[in-house]
Structure 1
Amino acid sequence: MSAREALESLTKDQLIELVEAYSKNLIALDGTWFQSIEGELGMDAAMHHDVAAWSRFTASEARRLKRFLGLAERPGLDGLEAALAFKLNTLSSRAETKWEDGALVYRVVECRVQVARARKGMDFHPCKSVGIVEYGGFARAIDDRIRCECLSCFPEISDRTCSCAWRFFLVDSGPFATIES
């Protein structure tokens, strides 16, 4: 039986369960390589490589989801909201979106990475710098007018009701539109 035939034999519920398992597996893989570098070379080196990896991965993830969802070239914040629902981290953690004053706020209510590190007695992952690259890059790959602002993320937590929170907004295409937020 081919892989495609095996997938076609599954029920919808089984496919959903499989996608969730794959998402968790990929986050676990990300964590194991990170912890390998962290253990051997320290947190600074691990963070350096984490930023490099996510800066490349997040754009390709966004492009694939954009194509899969059939989004327009510049789908705006509605397109971003649709893509965030299928983002790898969204599928493996508990996350939500909400609208505030014309901006889209994405909150990771319970982060699989931070829960795993706490369970192992490890310090929290200082993920703000990686999150800026990951979420900002993802949003710009969906629509180059979208910018991302960190509202709360370890080590700078301002919202204790979630693991992290990000605000997305549109900028006009003008001379300052490419300035990173």
Structure 2
Amino acid sequence: MGITESVAQAEKDVLVKLVMDAFRRIIVHYGAWFSEVEHQIGMANALEVEKEVWDASLSNQITRLGATLGFGVEGGVPAALKALPREALIDLIEKVGINWLANDGIWFQAVERNFGMADAKRCNDTCWTRFSPFEASRIKSLLNLPEHGGIPALKEALTYRMYAFINKQSIEDVNEGCIIFRMNDCRVQAARKRKGLSDYPCKSAGLVEYPYFAKTIDPRIETVCIGCPPDEHPDDWFCAWKFTLAGE
């Protein structure tokens, strides 16, 4: 065994904390690898490498944990997860989406608290240059969308985003090559509204988030912002975006 004597003799509560901290280190190390590969050899290459890495890494980790903790594994997935009924899986997906948004907000607030709003917004906007194409790539793979699926592929992909699990959104068909996407109810903005606060000015992030997502689904798709805070908007949506297939 490679466990050091100091770890082997540690108190049980320290060992429990160490297990949780080890998962934390894996998550951060995984993200650091992705970020650096993207920086060194480009986003497209990083996305392809990550597909290979995830399958191998997840299989190793789940299989080893299953054997250690005594839970079954089927096809690289905990058997208990596969055994859940549809309703429970749908509820779980929503809760995971809420956790994702909370995690995002905690990061933003920590940077804002320590370094100010400008730095927090800059970090947030830059994160979207990586997360948005990553999320689009994962959805594209999950749904087996074609490389140049056009507007139909984008319409389907938009319904599988993390935001789609927790916000209310709608899509209007303008024609075969154009849609208008509206975020009708946004968890973040709705919470601010309940507190009597003005809209969070998220347009700078949206101008990265939506074009990067659409271009990853199909590089021919152009994105135009119709409105996004701090822009004025009607009561029935917070932001709206027009997606058009080039040449349509």
Separation in structure 2 between the aligned mates of residue 36 and residue 107 of structure 1, nearest angstrom: 29
RMSD, aligned CA = 1.5
Is 1:100 the counterpart of 2:179? The answer is no
The answer on whether the counterparts of 1:151 and 1:158 sit within 8 Å (CA) in structure 2 is no
Is 1:22 the counterpart of 2:96? The answer is yes
Which amino acid counterpart does residue 129 of structure 1 have in structure 2?
A: S
Q: 1:64 is paired with a residue of what secondary structure?
A: helix
Which amino acid counterpart does residue 201 of structure 2 have in structure 1?
A: P
Separation in structure 1 between the aligned mates of residue 123 and residue 147 of structure 2, nearest angstrom: 30
Q: State the 1:121 CA deviation.
A: 5.3
The alignment covers a number of residue pairs equal to: 172
Q: State the 1:15 CA deviation.
A: 0.4
Q: State the 1:22 CA deviation.
A: 0.3
**Gap regions ≥5 residues in structure 2:** 1-70
Residues 145-180 of structure 1: CA deviation (Å, up to 9, x unaligned) = 0111111110012333201111100114xxxxxxxx
Find 1:60's aligned residue among 92, 114, 134: 134
**Gap regions ≥5 residues in structure 1:** 173-181
The equivalences for 1:76-95 within 5 A come to 76-95=150-169
The equivalences for 1:80-159 within 5 A come to 80-101=154-175, 102-120=177-195, 122-159=197-234
Identity, % of aligned positions: 38
Q: 2:78 is paired with a residue of what secondary structure?
A: helix
Q: 1:106 is paired with a residue of what secondary structure?
A: strand
Separation in structure 1 between the aligned mates of residue 201 and residue 125 of structure 2, nearest angstrom: 11
Larger RCO of the pair (alpha carbons < 8 Å, separation 6+):
1
Find 1:36's aligned residue among 104, 110, 118: 110
Residues 39-76 of structure 1: CA deviation (Å, up to 9, x unaligned) = 22222111100011111001010001001111111100
Separation in structure 2 between the aligned mates of residue 63 and residue 149 of structure 1, nearest angstrom: 21
Alignment TM-score, normalising by the size of structure 2: 0.66
Q: 1:89 is paired with a residue of what secondary structure?
A: helix
Separation in structure 2 between the aligned mates of residue 142 and residue 94 of structure 1, nearest angstrom: 21
Cα 1:35/1:123, change in 2 over 3 Å: farther
Separation in structure 2 between the aligned mates of residue 122 and residue 160 of structure 1, nearest angstrom: 15
Cα 1:122/1:34, change in 2 over 3 Å: farther
Q: 1:72 is paired with a residue of what secondary structure?
A: coil
The answer on whether the counterparts of 1:126 and 1:155 sit within 8 Å (CA) in structure 2 is yes
Q: 1:70 is paired with a residue of what secondary structure?
A: coil
Larger Rg: 2
Separation in structure 1 between the aligned mates of residue 111 and residue 190 of structure 2, nearest angstrom: 20
Q: 2:91 is paired with a residue of what secondary structure?
A: helix
